[in-house]
């Protein structure tokens, strides 16, 4: 089983390496730019919940091309919050190479979510934006988040959680993801398989309720959970207790 998990994770990493150069453009088109709103809103809420004007470290896991790292920095600047270090962690070198061109003054580390070379209890905030679904050893990853966080630090997760409803908005969302997204994403990236994987990975993922339960199991208490855009995207903010 461990060997199978490793192979699955390596396949996912290779997929992201393959689409790294077109990833940002495809995201903007597929989300119609609303993903930027979701991320900035999460940053603002996290800073409000944390209530401090000086943070020593933010760790962004599955940082990809650095979009959330940039948002953490820009929103902090808008709110007169000082951050000593923002660290991006990702196993995809291809994605991080793009990120380094966008936010070159910050730190990037090649590592998986379940095993990060980050000191225990060193981060004020740890985040993962649309990446926890791609962590094969998810529970190990969440335990690692709890290890890295300071006491009372915040874990911020944005993700496409599985929608087990069967109402019209849920059906509309599923139609878009299953029928339109693979074609649009494939056209932009020239890799249809990657954008066929996306809706399948969402359908195979856990629900919002299950995510909250898994967070609690590792000592991260959800303090804010909200779905956006017909529950297409869910934001979780949990505090280390």
Which CATH number, 3.75.10.10, 1.10.10.10, 3.90.1170.40, 3.40.50.150, labels domain 2-164+206-240?
Answer: 3.40.50.150
For the chain, the structural domain boundaries read 2-164+206-240
The whole-number pLDDT of residue 100 equals 97
- State how far the Cα of 210 lies from the Cα of 88, in Å rounded to an integer: 26
SS3 231: coil
Regarding beta strands 123-129 and 233-240, do their DSSP bridges make them parallel or antiparallel, or are they unpaired? unpaired
* C-alpha triplet 190, 194, 195: angle, nearest 5°: 90
What percentage of residues in the chain have a pLDDT greater than 70? 94
Give kind and range of the element (H or E) at residue 141. Answer: helix 138-148
Note the pLDDT tens digit of each residue in 59-88.
Answer: 999 999 999 999 999 999 999 999 999 999
Average pLDDT, the chain: 89
Asked if residues 192 and 179 have their Cβ atoms less than 8 Å apart, the reply is no
CA 128 → CA 34, 157, 205, 223, 237, distances in Å?
17, 5, 15, 16, 11
Averaged over 170-189, what is the pLDDT?
76
Query: Checking phi first, is residue 53 left (phi over 0); if not, alpha (psi -120 to 50) or beta?
Result: alpha
- State how far the Cα of 66 lies from the Cα of 195, in Å rounded to an integer: 20
- State how far the Cα of 87 lies from the Cα of 235, in Å rounded to an integer: 21
Query: pTM for the whole thing?
Result: 0.86
Note the pLDDT tens digit of each residue in 99-157.
Answer: 999 999 999 999 999 999 999 999 999 999 989 999 999 999 999 999 999 999 999 99
The whole-number pLDDT of residue 166 equals 72
The whole-number pLDDT of residue 4 equals 44
Q: Which residue has the higher pLDDT, 89 or 3?
A: 89
């Amino acid at each position: 089983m461990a060997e199978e998990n490793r192979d699955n994770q390596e396949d996912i990493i290779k997929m992201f390496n393959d689409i790294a150069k077109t990833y940002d453009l495809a995201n903007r088109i597929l989300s119609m730019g609303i993903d930027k709103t979701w991320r900035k809103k999460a940053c603002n809420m996290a800073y409000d919940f944390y209530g401090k004007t000086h943070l020593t470290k933010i760790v962004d896991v599955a940082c990809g091309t650095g979009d959330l790292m940039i948002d953490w920095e820009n929103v902090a600047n808008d709110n007169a919050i000082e951050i000593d270090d923002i660290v991006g962690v990702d196993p995809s070198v291809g994605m991080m190479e793009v990120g380094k061109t966008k936010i070159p003054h910050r730190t990037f580390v090649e590592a998986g979510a379940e095993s990060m070379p980050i000191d225990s209890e060193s981060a004020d905030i740890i985040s993962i934006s649309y990446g926890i679904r791609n962590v094969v050893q998810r529970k190990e990853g969440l335990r690692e988040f709890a290890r890295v966080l300071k006491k009372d630090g915040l874990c911020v997760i944005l993700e496409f959680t599985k929608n087990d409803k069967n109402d019209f908005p849920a059906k509309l969302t599923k139609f878009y993801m299953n029928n339109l997204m693979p074609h649009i994403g494939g056209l932009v990236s020239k890799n249809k398989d990657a954008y066929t994987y996306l809706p399948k990975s969402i359908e195979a993922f856990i629900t919002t309720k299950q995510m909250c339960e898994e967070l609690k199991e590792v000592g991260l208490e959800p303090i804010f959970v909200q779905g956006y855009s017909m529950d297409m995207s869910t934001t979780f903010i949990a505090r280390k207790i």
